[in-house]
A and B are shown apart, each in its own frame.
Chain A
């Protein structure tokens, strides 16, 4: 249903309707931005990358085939843009830009300040830990755990076999476990 609507908007865009592309950007702006944010680390770069991804997608719209899902195709473009950015400069979380420091007001965080502090603190820790993963592992985690994609869809986005995505995700989770719970570290008997 949602995908049919995407394809219709793609079709209208190709026919020269710029408003249709605006509607596509509105639909996916938040998801693309969040993917870029977790990949790159800070909001300013995420904004640049999001803009770049949508411009690149527009230019390449003729190569999009409705047999693939528009979302997967767009995330794939976004991933490429992020990887390009990361080649120039690695992941860098700007602490003043963390959700923990400037929590979103819509979340009703003021209702329970100590709990909210703990939660946002954890969020910042997780965000920083993500930055210590290799880029492809972070991408797999961002697609599967943050964007909620199936391993199959994530594989389509990353252009690699499902097994490869799983192994990226497994390694990433094992590393994150070590980074986020160091106090419990023990040798395996």
Chain B
């Protein structure tokens, strides 16, 4: 083996990455060639120096500061979670009450006030969770409750409340957190 060839193999020799035959070739050359043997000792010296680097001590406060930061994030996530629940509830209410309004309008005076109340309570629950929507939906529902209150009017009120809740919830979700946060939540 030539010196040039041996030197090109020294790193792989160090890693134990050579075939038996090559390894023997390098070993025999190193035993006979002083210059290459010195190169080899230097390379081994580098590996030894690297492995001899002592570890530095990590500041113990790191754990606390990480947990502080991460805990704050978790707390900040809670309102978004509520907003998502509100959004889902309001959405269900919206779909139900719309279906009933449509069926009432099409099939005449069916007594569906039980369904209507359920849809309204779902929408209201959603609205309650989304503070902005609750402020709008509350007075509307109250005013309607005091006045004439056929089932259709109730349902329309529920519809309006649910729609407001959905819109407000969506707006709030998107403004509170950027899209990444939203996709994280949806992935759960």
Contact = CB atoms under 8 A, between A and B. Distances in A.
Given A170-B11, A188-B4, A107 B54 contact: yes
B67 A25 contact: yes
Interface of A: 16, 18, 21-22, 25-26, 29-30, 32-34, 37-38, 43, 46-47, 50-51, 54-55, 58-59, 62, 99, 104, 106-107, 119, 122-123, 126-127, 141, 145-146, 151, 166, 169-170, 173-174, 176-177, 180-181, 184, 186, 188-189
B70 A126 contact: no
Contacts of B31: none
Given A29-B63, A141-B50, A188 B11 contact: no
A37 B3 contact: no
| Contact residues on B (Cβ < 8 Å of other chain), bracket | 35 or more
Contacts of B65: 51
Contacts of B20: none
Given A170-B11, A173-B43, A177-B46, A26 B63 contact: yes
Contacts of A55: 66, 69-70, 73
A146 B70 contact: no
A149 B56 CA distance: 18
Given A47-B59, A188-B3, A146 B38 contact: no
B32 interface: no
Interface of B: 3-4, 7, 11-12, 14-15, 17, 35, 38-39, 42-43, 45-47, 49-59, 62-63, 65-67, 69-71, 73-74, 184, 187-188
- If over half of B's interface residues share one DSSP class (helix, strand or loop), that class is named, otherwise mixed; here it is helix
Contact of A104 (B54, B67, B74): B54
Given A123-B53, A126-B49, A188-B4, A177 B62 contact: no
B56 to A, nearest CB: 5
Contact of A180 (B3, B49, B57): B49
Contacts of A119: 52
Contacts of A62: 184, 187-188
Contacts of B74: 16, 18
B66 A54 contact: yes
Contacts of B62: 25, 29, 33, 47, 50-51, 54
